[in-house]
Amino acid sequence: MKKDLLSLLDLEKTDFEDLFDRALQLKKRYAQGIHDRVLTGKSLGLIFDKKSTRTRIAFETAMIQLGGHPIYMSTQDTQISRNEPAEDTARVLSRYIDCLAMRTFDHALVETFAAASSIPVINALTDWFHPCQILSDIMTIIEHKGGYRNVKIAWVGDGNNVANSWVNAASVLGLTLTVACPEDHMVTQQIIKASGADAMDHIRFTTDPKEAVKHADVVYTDVWASMGEEDELQNRLAAFDGFQVNRDLLTRAAPDVLVMHCLPAHRGEEISEQVLEAPGAAFWDQAENKRHMHKAILETLILRKKSDE
Ligand code: CP
Ligand code: NVA
């Protein structure tokens, strides 16, 4: 794997496979009471500019359970908020910690940190991408569907950071993915072209959610206004009319369709209460699997750094 995980385009197909295998193995071993303390003495820094429940706590618990230490830094409490250059902060943190997970707005900022750091930098969500989310989500698909090959995946909603990461994953892994977004909220051409998805028959884009979910094995949605876009919600509610994942829409999907959502969810907007509260829903497995996948990512990036030295 490369030094950093900023986008799923940073990964080869074999990197994905290795992470799925290791995360599933770590999950099984943890359930058996086996604690793999492979990161004893290591530290993970977390710089979060946006709110988080799952990603932050999954990274912190993953690090603790692997024997290491997480150090959470809110931007407000560091010199970053007093305009210390990102390059300087990155070089200094590289002298203290073994890995840095960052959640911020501008994707270019995590790229700047990664370029200036000698330690691995992990994107814990930017305006453009949420790579760790999709890694744990495909792990959840593997558990529920026995694999990801021949699984028809439909994205219904905003062409946002999570959708972009699905497009990246589909292009590297050859996933069958249909992305349905309102015209003004479609995944951008820049993202589509960068992933090569424009030249791939197995990745399609539509403005019709009904068409996208037809015979789908997985239907995935996310909020209509992401963090930083809250002021746009009222206008977006009209634009996303017909895009709610509810029982009516799902009648077109495969009978055993797996509905997924990265959470937090807005009941009655992108997803109905009934679908969110359906017995056996996978949302909570998705949330749990973030911890196991984060372990696999941390172990891979931090220990590879050691073996390179
Ligand atoms: N899914 C996800 O990233 O959740 P948080 O915003 O709570 O981290
Ligand atoms: N698209 C959402 C994902 C939250 C996990 C956001 O960026 O707010």
Domains detected in the chain: 8-129+287-308 (3.40.50.1370), 133-285 (3.40.50.1370)
**The two structure tokens encoding residue 203:** 């990745």
Distance 196 CA to ligand 1 centre (A): 27
Q: Give the pLDDT of residue 19.
A: 98
Q: What letters, b where the CB count within 10 A reaches 16 and e where it falls short, cover 285-298?
A: bbbebbbbbbbbbb
Distance 50 CA to ligand 2 centre (A): 10
Distance 291 CA to ligand 2 centre (A): 18
Q: Give the pLDDT of residue 307.
A: 39
Q: Which residue has the tokens 């028959």?
A: 201
Low-confidence ranges of the chain (pLDDT < 50): 305-309
**How does strand 43-48 pair with strand 69-74?**
parallel
d(CA 165, CA 285): 19
Q: Ligand 2: residues within 6 Å at CB?
A: 125, 160-162, 222-223, 226-227, 262
3-state secondary structure the chain: CCCCECCHHHCCHHHHHHHHHHHHHHHHHHHCCCCCCCCCCCEEEEEECCCCCHHHHHHHHHHHHCCCEEEEEEHHHCHHHHCCCHHHHHHHHCCCCCEEEEECCCHHHHHHHHHHCCCCEEECCCCCCCHHHHHHHHHHHHHHHCCCCCCEEEEECCCCHHHHHHHHHHHHHCCEEEEECCHHHCCCHHHHHHHCHHHCCCEEEECCHHHHHCCCCEEEECCCCCCCCHHHHHHHHHHCCCCCECHHHHCCCCCCCEEEECCCCCECCCECHHHHCCCCCCHHHHHHHHHHHHHHHHHHHHHHHHHHC
Q: Give the pLDDT of residue 109.
A: 98
**The two structure tokens encoding residue 274:** 């009934």
Q: Which residue has the tokens 């943890």?
A: 30
Q: How far is CA 80 from CA 49, 180, 182, 203, in A?
A: 10, 38, 37, 40
Q: Give the pLDDT of residue 79.
A: 95
Q: Which of 226, 232, 266 to mutate to test the pocket of ligand 2 (most atoms within 8 A of CB)?
A: 226
Q: Determine whether the shortest distance from the Cβ of 286 to ligand 1 is under 6 A.
A: no
Q: Which atom of ligand 1 is nearest to the CA of 57?
A: 8
Structural contact between residues 132 and 160, judged by C-beta atoms closer than 8 angstroms? no
Report pTM. Answer: 0.97
**The two structure tokens encoding residue 285:** 């497995």
Q: Give the pLDDT of residue 75.
A: 86
